[in-house]
Each structure stands twice: as C-alpha cells, then as structure tokens.
Amino acid sequence: MITEAVLSLGSNIGDRMSFLIKATESIKCQIGIISNVSSVYETEPWGVNNQNFYLNQLLTVKTELSPFKLLSVIQSIEINLGRERRYKYAPRTIDIDILYYGLLVINSEILKIPHPCLEKRRFILVPLTEILPQMIHPLLKKSNLCLLEELVDDTKIKKVETININL
C-alpha cells in the first residue's frame, strides 16, 4: 500500500544547501515519489544555543515502505551524508525526521508518529503550513495552520528560496 509521509530535512554543518539536495535525491531513489516540497528556510537552532543556523525544508513522499523500514532507510541516508549522533541536538550535516505517515499514530521506543513536539516548533510549522495547511494532526485534531496560529515559539525563521526539483 502506498502512503504519503511528511519528512523534515535540516542541516547546520558544512554546505547546508548541498546536504538538503543530496538528501532529497537519496529520498527520491530509496523511498519513493516526492509529491510536494516546501521552500527552504534558514532557522535559529531550537533547544540549544551557540550553533550555526539551520537550513530546513519539508517534503511529502509517496512510499510503499512501512514506517519502521522508512525510519531505517532515513537513518542510512543520514549516515551516508556524514551524520554523527554525538548528543541530543548536536550539530549535524543532515537530520531527517518523519513528521507524519498518513494519519497513522505510532508510539514506540524507536519511533513516534506524529513527530513529538512538532506543534511547538516554528521551523516545522512554517514550512508545514506552506505545503499542508489544512492537514489535521491525528492526535491534536487541529490543522497545521491552527497549530501555527497557536504557536508560542519565537525562534527566528526566514525563507531562503524555493528549490525546483523534478518531482
């Protein structure tokens, strides 16, 4: 069965734009058909100080992979692009998170969908409302747009550009 997953990409080390592009290409090759892509945003680090700003982007991908297989492939892509998991919120070449997997809810030790705290993060909700404003969060029962309107996070975010990729 094909399911549409929403993925978040972020990079704050090295050539950040290049890492977003390489991750997107890997997702196209290994996960499925990309159906929508947000603009790229430069964002203040969330949860930490004294780090480089991130480039963040969201995309939707139609995949036949199960949520746990999707997580495994994503982690492999991250490793191939130089991701090191040294500590929580460590700087990274690439970070790929599963925000939504259709309307599925998973709460296991290794995977939580919808992604926990997405409703508290401006760097997630701004691009999410760009591409899926009316999508309803399956646990909170509110649209992404509503979540953004209720957001108290005031971290800095600015649109950098829209990347045209072959969907």
**Residues 117-130 pLDDT 10s:** 999 999 999 999 99
Backbone angles phi, psi at 100, to 5 degrees: -135, 150
Provide the whole-model pTM: 0.92
User: Do residues 6 and 60 lie in contact, with contact meaning Cβ atoms separated by under 8 Å?
Assistant: yes
What does pLDDT average to over the chain?
A: 91
CA distance 85 to 91: 9
Express each pLDDT in 78-119 by its tens digit.
999 987 777 666 788 999 999 999 999 999 999 999 999 999
Tokens of 57: 């982007």
Q: How far apart are CA 47 and CA 39, in angstroms?
A: 23
The band of 161, judged by pLDDT with boundaries at 50, 70 and 90, is: confident
Tell me the catalytic residues: 83, 92, 95, 97
Q: What is the pLDDT of residues 42-62, one digit of tens each?
A: 998 876 677 889 999 999 999
The tokens describing 92, both together, are 């990274």
